[in-house]
Amino acid sequence: MEPVTVATAVTAVVGMLGTLFTAGVRGRTARALARESARRDHVRHLRPGSRIIDLGDRGVTIEVGNRPAGQEIALDEPR
């Protein structure tokens, strides 16, 4: 094979690998941003006294509070 043909083939393969890597990183970033946006929306509509445990990629555990609106928990109040 001629050196020009080999160089062209290697360049094409490296370019395709770079494109696939970039697409994977962009997809992973988009999923993370969408997940965080959905979590913010859920948290925004929770009742006072609710607790959230973020499990990362495995999800979120939410304990919905039963305090009436306007009755916030004090930091030094025993639970």
- In the chain, what are the domain boundaries? 3-63
Output the six-digit token pair for 69: 């609106």
Q: Answer yes or no: is pLDDT of 77 > 90.
A: no
- The C-alpha atoms of residue 51 and residue 9 are separated, in whole angstroms, by 56
Q: For 42, what's the count of Cα atoms within 13 Å in the CB-facing half-sphere?
A: 17
Q: CA torsion, points 38, 44, 50, 56, in degrees to nearest 10?
A: 30
Per-residue pLDDT of 6-61, as tens digits, reads 999 999 999 999 999 999 999 999 998 998 888 888 788 888 788 888 887 787 88
Which one is predicted more confidently, 75 or 69? 69
- The C-alpha atoms of residue 51 and residue 3 are separated, in whole angstroms, by 64
Residue 12, pLDDT score: 97
Whether the model clears a pTM of 0.75, i.e. scores above it, the answer is: no
Residue 44, pLDDT score: 82
